[in-house]
């Protein structure tokens, strides 16, 4: 990122120049490789609880399994989206072991 030497605001690339959005200061782009995107966002892996030891310690709740109709499931929370969005609830049926998720 480049900042304006005059007012310290963020400068944006436009027409081969860097332009300050606040005061209008302009500067020629000397090194175009600095403007190239060098990294991409990667999604985090979703952790599904699989081992019987981990499942045994999870709390249970009364919820109907969409696969077998059982009324009890283990549950846990994971933050999959942005920090300002709610967590996702995961459920695993105590009878058939089907896993599903629920969003707010």
Binding residues: 4, 7, 20, 23, 65, 68, 93, 96
Binding-site annotation, residues for Zn(2+): 4, 7, 20, 23, 65, 68, 93, 96
Among 28, 37, 22, 38, CA closest to 13: 28
Angle at Cα 42 formed by Cα 46 and Cα 18, nearest 5°?
155
Angle at Cα 96 formed by Cα 95 and Cα 99, nearest 5°?
110
Among 82, 84, 77, 69, CA closest to 101: 77
Q: Which residues pair with 17 in a beta bridge?
A: 14, 28
Residues serving a catalytic function are: 84-85
The tokens describing 101, both together, are 């998720």
């Amino acid at each position: 990122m480049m900042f304006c030497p005059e007012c310290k605001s963020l400068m944006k690339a436009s027409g081969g120049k860097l332009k300050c959005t606040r005061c209008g200061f302009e500067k020629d782009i000397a090194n175009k490789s600095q403007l190239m995107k060098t990294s991409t966002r990667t999604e985090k892996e979703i952790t599904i609880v699989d081992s019987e030891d981990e499942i045994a310690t999870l709390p249970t709740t009364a919820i109907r399994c969409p696969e077998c109709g059982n009324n009890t499931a283990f549950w846990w929370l994971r933050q999959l989206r942005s920090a300002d969005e709610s967590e996702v609830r995961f459920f695993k049926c105590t009878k058939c072991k089907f896993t599903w998720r629920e969003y707010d």
